[in-house]
Structure 1
Amino acid sequence: MPQPTTRARPTGYPGYSETLPRESGSAGTARRLVRVALAVWGLDDLADDGVLIVSELVSNAVQHARRESIRVIVDRPGAVRVCIGVVDFSKVPPAPRAPDDESEGGRGLALVAELADHWGTEPLPWGKRVWAELDGKARG
């Protein structure tokens, strides 16, 4: 099993990342990584939204990406701000859909947009990073 990676960031806070298999069971590992990072940083109040966001981002990568792995990244760009991202090997940006009431899927990006203070996609030479930011101050 791959080990999580920690690395110092310009803000002085470590970032957490882990490469995971591109399979549905990886969402649970990603949720644990987010909960651990937020607990270490004393940002437990962001954990519920953070785990929902990472679940949706991982689910999208599992469904739409290529290759056998994805990378989950949890950064702390500010004292009370976190950025949760999923990197995959597909260059196709995610497209929000408007599902009808009968659809079982298609609501993930709408949920991410509702929970996150900001979210977006960053193209990479080999794929993309889909990210969402949570700001603890905005939730007070």
Structure 2
Amino acid sequence: MPEPAFAAGTATSARPLMNRVGLAIAEATADDGRPAYSMSLPRIAESACDARLLTSSALGVWGLGGVEDEARLVITELMSNAVTHARRDYVRVSVMRRDLLVVRLAVADFSRDLPRLRAAGAEEERGRGLAIVEAVTAGRWGAEPRRWGKQVWADLEMSDE
């Protein structure tokens, strides 16, 4: 019997998604050989759910569950910015192990416009994402220009307690 097609929001959506995440896990390492998960996702708001799942999977494998809530919040904000400001139909989400206690979350897209922290007005409904990332990561975030666009990243450090 064939696998059910992936359909967001259905009871059968978890199995195909886990298969996609599993393939990304098996194949991915950072450029410097450190462990990493990576996945290309459609540039749509619903992809934040897949980015959170990828993030949680990576943290679980690495035993860094102590930063999972913060990581899920940060990757959601980075995805939201990419959905709003990027170009093209896909973005690349990465979760990289920087060292024993540090994980880097990143979203790469094809826009060369670098993000900037700004103060949102009290009545504005948008514009607080990077302020949240700034607060959660204690300022450990940035954007790296690429020939084809940029990668926005944020580092989270697990307490060694």
CA positional deviation for 1:11: 7.7
Would you say 1:134 and 2:156 are equivalent positions? yes
TM-score when scaled to structure 1?
A: 0.92
Amino acid at match of 1:128: K
> Could you say which residue in structure 2 is the equivalent of 1:77?
98
1:8: Cα distance to partner? 3.6
Q: Distance in 1 between matches of 2:97 and 2:58?
A: 9
Paired residue for 1:62? 83
Shift of 1:80: 1.0
User: How far, CA to CA, are the matches of 2:30 and 2:125 in structure 1?
Assistant: 39
Greater relative CO (CA pairs within 8 A, separation 6+): 1
The separation in 2 between residues aligned to 1:71 and 1:108, in whole angstroms, is: 19
Cα offset, 1:111, TM superposition: 0.2
Distance 1:98 1:12 in 2: 38
- Could you report, residue by residue, the CA deviation over 1:72-106 in whole angstroms, capped at 9, with x for unpaired residues? 00000101110000000000000222111111110
* Cα RMSD, aligned residues only: 1.8
Structure 2 vs 1, CA of residues 101 and 38 (structure 1 numbering), >3 Å: closer, same or farther? same
Following superposition of structure 1 onto structure 2, how do residues 31-50 of structure 1 map, counting pairs within 5 Å? Answer: 31-50=52-71
Aligned partner letter, 1:130: V
User: Partner residue of 2:124?
Assistant: 103
Q: TM-score, structure 2 length as denominator?
A: 0.80
What secondary structure does 1:86 align onto? strand
* Counterpart-to-counterpart distance in 1, 2:80 and 2:107: 10
> Do 1:11 and 1:77's aligned partners in 2 also have CA atoms closer than 8 Å?
no
1:20-35 superposed matches below 5 A: 20-35=41-56
What is the match of residue 121 of structure 1?
A: 143
1:42–1:60 Cα change, 3 Å? same
Cα 1:38–1:59 shift into 2, 3 Å:
same
Q: Which range moves more in the overlay, 96-105 or 38-47?
A: 96-105
Alpha carbons of 1:10 and 1:122: their partners in 2 closer, same or farther (altered >3 Å)?
closer
Q: Name the aligned partner's letter for residue 40 of structure 1.
A: V
Q: Which runs of 5+ in 2 are unaligned?
A: 1-5, 7-16
- Which ranges of 4 or more aligned residues in structure 1 deviate by more than 3 Å? 8-13
Greater Rg by CA: 2
Q: Alignment identity in percent?
A: 44
- Deviation string 1:105-134 (CA, Å, 9 cap, x unpaired) is 100000000001410001111000000001
- Which consecutive unaligned segments of at least 5 residues does structure 1 have? none
Count residues in correspondence. Answer: 139
